[in-house]
Amino acid sequence: MTRYAEVHAGWQADPQAFWAEAAEAIDWERRWDRVLDDDAAPMTRWFSGARVNTCHNALDRHVAAGHGDRLALIYDSPVTGRKRAYRYAELRDAVAHLAGALRALGVERGDRVIVNMPMVPETVMAMLACARIGAVHSVVFGGFAANELATRIDDARPKVVLAASCGIEPNRVVPYKPMLDEAIALASHKPTACLILQRPEGPAERVAGRDLDWAETVAAAEPADCVAVEAGDPLYILYTSGTTGQPKGVVRDNGGHLVALAWSMRHIYAMRPGEVFWAASDVGWVVGHSYIVYAPLIAGCTSLLYEGKPVGTPDAGAFWRVIAEHGVATLFTAPTAFRAIKREDPEGRLIGDYDLSSLRALFLAGERCDPATLAWATEQLGVPVIDHWWQTETGWPIAANPLGIEPLPIKPGSAGVAMPGWDLRVLDAAGAELPPGQIGDVVLRLPLPPGALTTLWGNDAGYRAKYLSEHPGYYATADAGKLDAEGYVHIMARTDDIINVAGHRLSTGQMEEVLIAHPDVAECAVFGVADAMKGELPLGLLVLNAGCTRDPEAVVREVVQRVRERIGPVAVFKRATVVERLPKTRSGKILRGTLRKIADAEPYTVPATIDDPLILDEVAAALRPLGYAEPRVASPASG
């Protein structure tokens, strides 16, 4: 039996004993009465009766243990040219003063605070300051439009908003304050105060009687001590998407979150105290919450906060520069970042300019990593490249390769094996378990482990309806995939990206694997379009490598033939076109659902999380010669 199998079997034999042992890594003010409280199942709670403080576990306890001089946070901002390092004692003191400023503004345990800020150290401090005094933070990505921010203000009902005057992109300054002002005007709920961080690249006008200067207010505040809360009390609310009606606010608790993240840093990412961990994501997304702010600090590591891009700040060597300069041990980013790097520097020539000897592993998540990208990254970096899978709702990896337990063989196209805590099954539409190799609904048997969402903010009924009703006794991930004979998890697509071609259920992800394996293809997307004869047909969009001079039509013919050879005529993959870029969210996910609506000329709303709405018009123009996207009927943009 492998070491992983032993650990997994130990969890299966006694889940509560497993998580009780894991909880010994955390400082508790009061220990739990019950490891798992399932009296109100399926609404369960972990470590009921326990009292704890997340900020204490992330900062104060390391200082108390004599590690105050250890680096806690490195800020690297190529868009401003600024860098800053914070040691644990220094970061604790800054957080304590900000927490004191919040306390002076009337924020108490259980109150909500919205954080509308970019990738700056003060954003990390804001989240930790809320945790320090038992307030509930809700980080709203700074690029959201005013109406999206307004819906979150009305749902969370914050006492205070923490905001920056602007965000900074490689070629532009994005004013945040006008959007905040408009959002508060639109919202029914009005915060009592806004604390504004003035950035020199774009200072903002303050509203008299409501807005306060960040630096002045914090400087005048007395530091606040940590406030112990119940383990089941909410730490944060994270809204997963722009919605109409009641927004979907994922609630994360304090106790279970601490235990799960501490376990994951040691056993999945194999990180040791003092080592540098870099999650190249945004604090506004779940990766930023879990693996920029909380997990590295809970584990006593150094977290790297990067305000830049994988390409363009200044070139496709940006990641290599950061790794070499700061001694990064583990990098965690999205496959789309590496596709962008590969597109600009397909031969990896820029890597040779940097010493990457500190790097032990690369973890990829956010979208399924195609085998071609995994192979390219492995060849260029010479370290294990781990595709792993999880969701905003789960908070930490469901499936991975647990390097801290033992490195398992890597299977390209697979997200690894299920981690302890996640009882993963694959079911058909009727709820019957499918044998290895068959694609179905990927579900998680209840109860969910520590660190998973506990409910939706103010909407227990919505939580049950969205996640727990489709397959009773299970959490529905809304992902489709399969398990192979060795227990490896293969996530193929969102369930709405499984297309039905003449009665055959086909994975768009499987087709994308074939497309991106073509040497001239940097990125691709496959989605289903309506067809009167077969129900649905696959349609492909291709982004070619930078510098590719081949006839695009020749590339299209070649990828069509490849799909026919490797998947078969059953896929009926006959149409594709080349585009300059793909529409994505700011976290790197391709907007396949929106692409499908554009192609089928259905009304659609421009997603609030889209990186650049103009891409949608470019895609529509590219699809019209194929007979799609006409007539275009669009509802007003929301972002």
Residue 71 DSSP SS3: strand
Quick one: 260 exposed, middle or buried, by C-beta within 10 A (0-12, 13-18, 19+)? buried
Q: Is 532 a residue whose pLDDT tops 90? A: no
* Residue in 476, 495, 489 with CA at minimum distance from that of residue 431: 476
pLDDT at position 246 is 65
Q: What is the pLDDT of residue 277?
A: 98
User: CB-hemisphere CA count at 13 Å for 40?
Assistant: 9
Alpha-carbon gap, residue 315 to 341, rounded angstroms: 9
pLDDT at 633 (0 to 100): 42
**Domain spanning 3-308+388-482, CATH architecture:** 3-Layer(aba) Sandwich (3.40)
Q: What stretch(es) of the chain map to CATH 3.30.300.30?
A: 504-626
Q: Is the link from the previous residue into 631 a cis peptide, with omega within 30 of 0?
A: yes
**What is the distance between the alpha carbons of residues 400 and 417, in angstroms, rounded to a whole number?**
5
CB-based burial label for 15 (10 Å; 0-12, 13-18, 19+): middle
pLDDT value of position 503: 61
Q: Which of 118-127, 302-311, 497-506 has the lowest mean pLDDT?
A: 497-506
What is the pTM for the complete model shown? 0.86
Contact 487, 435 (CB under 8 A): no
Assess whether pLDDT exceeds 70 at residue 527. yes
The CB density around residue 413, as the number of other CB atoms within 10 Å, is 18
Task: Please state which of the ranges 63-72, 175-184, 233-242, 585-594 shows the lowest mean pLDDT.
Answer: 585-594
Q: What local confidence, expressed as pLDDT, does residue 524 receive? A: 93
Task: State the span(s) of the chain assigned CATH 3.40.50.12780.
Answer: 3-308+388-482
- Copy the structure tokens of residue 526: 């496959």
Name the average pLDDT for the chain.
93
pLDDT at 204 over 50: yes
Rounded mean pLDDT, 23-34 = 98
The pLDDT of 314-319, averaged and rounded, is 97
Name the residue type at position 636. P
List CB contacts of 215: < 8 A, sequence separation 6 or more. Answer: 197, 198
pLDDT at 157: 98
pLDDT value of position 584: 86
Q: 232 pLDDT exceeds 70?
A: yes
Query: What is the mean predicted confidence (pLDDT) over 313-336?
Result: 96
Tell me the helix, strand and coil percentages in the chain, rounded to 5. Answer: 35, 25, 40
Classify residue 464 as exposed, middle or buried by CB count within 10 Å of its CB (0-12, 13-18, 19+): middle
pLDDT of residue 345: 95
pLDDT of 128 over the 50 cut = yes
What would the two tokens of residue 135 be? 């307030």
DSSP state of 563: H
Check whether domain 504-626 has CATH 3.40.50.970, yes or no: no
Q: Distance between CA 68 and CA 73 in Å, rounded?
A: 12
Tell me the two tokens of residue 497.
């990206």
Supply the DSSP string of 179-243, one letter for each residue: HHHHHHHH-SS--SEEEEE--TTS--PPPTTTEEEHHHHHHTSPP-----EETTSEEEEEE-S--
Mind listing the pLDDT tens digit for each residue in 363-405?
Answer: 999 878 888 899 999 999 999 999 999 999 999 999 999 999 9
HEC per residue, 272-305? CCCCEEEECCCCCCHHHHHHHHHHHHHCCCEEEE
Q: Is the pLDDT of residue 49 over 90?
A: yes
Instruction: Tell me the average pLDDT across 505-510.
Output: 76
CA 552 to chain CA centroid, Å, is 33
